[in-house]
Amino acid sequence: MIKAVKGFRDILPQEMPLWRKVEEEARRLFEAFGYSELRIPVLEKTELFKRSLGDTSDIVEKEMYTFRDKGGESVTMRPEATASMARAYLEHALYHSDPVGKYFFFGPMFRHERPQAGRLRQFHQLNVEAFGYVSPSLDTEVISLLDTLYERLGIRHLTTLEINSLGCRECRPRFRESLVEFLERVKDLLCPDCQRRRERNPLRVLDCKEESCQEVLRDAPHISRHLCQDCRQYQKETLAYLDALGVEYLTNPRLVRGLDYYTRTVFELTTTHLGAQNAVAAGGRYDDLLKQIGDKDIPGVGFAVGVERTVLLLEKKGDWTRGTPFHCYLALLGEEAIKEGFKLALALRKKGVRLEMNHQPKSLKAQLRRADKIKAPLAIILGEDELARGTLIVRNMKEGSQEERPLGDLEGLARYIKKEVEF
């Protein structure tokens, strides 16, 4: 048997209601905040991600689905959306029509990692990006949007919002330098993973989970002490806005994001309910990203929500899902009735009645059993006897009562059904 590719999964009908809930709530909210939907392609030139994420980031180094297309060009299935959205923004020169560009996107991402609970090779993200302004209130808008989304979904209480500032192109290098210096001094005390991180991506040593490392890091340089005056003021204002809005958060000076392009504000929405995976959404400001992939010095801020992980939280909370409910089941007996009934089915369906019928001759018992199984509140029975009388039977499955109605009165029947099942 041919099975799905490892790390790629089907989303079955029974899961769809929760997916729709997330997508619909997100769309409604994003639009309320002034963000417009933008669709980006699955495939991009590999160079885009190398430049934006950083050559030495894990994603670029070992997790991308990269291949040469028939023209010999190296292309990559997007591992994240921010770089693509920035590319689209620049490519279409959208900054000309409006100083601030606010966009959202929903779609699959691809990373070649070993799958485990809450981690897939194809997974979905909802992205929000605001290009054009450097402003604490814009950062706050974006963060409060994420906060509100989870609030609306009823799972904000299962998560924690953590915030930090990574500094800007002025102060971040200085901090990095002093951190590297510090790590050099204590390198023998670090775990083997951190030995590697120390050289590749020193900031990441900060959020190592090893207790021994955290012990050592107690004396490590603090990012907050290295922030320049502007960054310090920026963070202060951002936090003040969040306080004013009543957004609950924790500042975490050890919070570092895995992608290279972040500057100043970074944040993560984490949970303890997803096994080893703790991030359900994350984002931040990236004032140097657009310059790296285009030539425009345009700042941006945004976040990505892990949709699978969000759906898992909804399930954890106990949201239950059910399929599309039927309004009516049509039971037919005898060749003539089947012909006539098929026409009736189409007419009712055109009027919006969610109607199911059988496509194989079956006993009335079997047909009603199915009507019961799919929880249709009404069943219409049309057999040879009714056909001869020019009638049909409408049976109320809950009450067990039924009545005979004229076959020709389509309008009346449709009205009756709508009244009975209230749709």
Partner RNA sequence: GUGAGUGUAGCUCAGCUGGUUAGAGCACCGGACUGUGGCUCCGGGGGUCAGGGGUUCAAAUCCCCUCACUCACCCCA
Question: Which residues of this chain interact with RNA, rule CB under 7 A?
Answer: 3, 6, 57-59, 63, 80, 111, 113-120, 123, 125, 193, 197, 204, 208-210, 257-259, 268-269, 275-282, 304-306, 308-309, 333-334, 362-366, 368-373, 381, 383-386, 393, 395, 397-400, 402
Nearest to 325 by CA among 374, 396, 358: 374
Beta-bridge partners for 405: 392
Minimum Å gap between C-beta 45 and RNA is 20
Could you tell me how far CA 101 lies from the centroid of its own chain? 21
Q: Which is nearer to RNA, 232 or 391 (CB)?
A: 391
| CB 1 to RNA: min, Å | 9
Please list the residues that pair with 265 across neighbouring strands. 165
For 387-390, the CB contacts below 8 A with 24+ separation are 387/334, 387/336, 387/337, 387/340
- Decide whether 6 or 225 has the Cβ nearer to RNA: 6
Structure tokens at 328: 């009516």
| Per-residue tokens: 408 | 């020709």
Structure tokens at 347: 């007419």
Closer by beta carbon to RNA, 128 or else 282: 282
Taken in order 195, 199, 200, 201, the sign of the CA dihedral is: positive
- Return all residues near 179 (Cβ < 8 A) that are at least 6 apart: 202, 203, 205, 206, 220, 221
Residues facing 3 on adjacent strands = none
Least distance to RNA, CB of residue 140, Å: 19
Least distance between RNA and beta carbon 66 (Å): 15
Nearer to RNA, 213 or 239 (CB): 213
Work out how close the CB of 358 gets to RNA at its nearest, in angstroms, rounded to a whole number. 9
Least distance to RNA from the beta carbon of 72, Å? 25
Residue type, 111: R
Answer for the pair 257, 82: CB distance below 8 angstroms, yes or no: no
Q: Which is nearer to RNA, 70 or 322 (CB)?
A: 322
CA separation for the pair 59, 80 (Å, rounded)? 9
**Contact indicator for 370, 413 with CB cutoff of 8 Å:** no
Of the pair 393, 410, the CB lying nearest RNA is at: 393
Spatial separation of the C-alpha atoms in residues 25 and 49, rounded to whole Å: 30
CB of 229 to RNA, least distance (A): 29
Residue 290 or 371 having the CB closest to RNA: 371
Shortest Å, Cβ 71 to RNA: 28
**For residues 70 and 373, which CB has a smaller minimum distance to RNA in the complex?**
373
DSSP code at position 334: S
Beta carbon nearer to RNA, 69 or 335: 335
Nearer to RNA, 186 or 228 (CB): 186
| Two tokens, residue 44 | 């991009």
Torsion over CA of 150, 155, 159 and 165, rounded to 10 degrees? 0
What's at 398, amino acid-wise? K
Q: How far is the CB of 56 from RNA (least distance, A)?
A: 10
Q: How far is CA 67 from CA 42, 44, 109, in A?
A: 13, 11, 16
Structure tokens at 62: 């070992």
CB of 24: closest distance to RNA in angstroms?
20
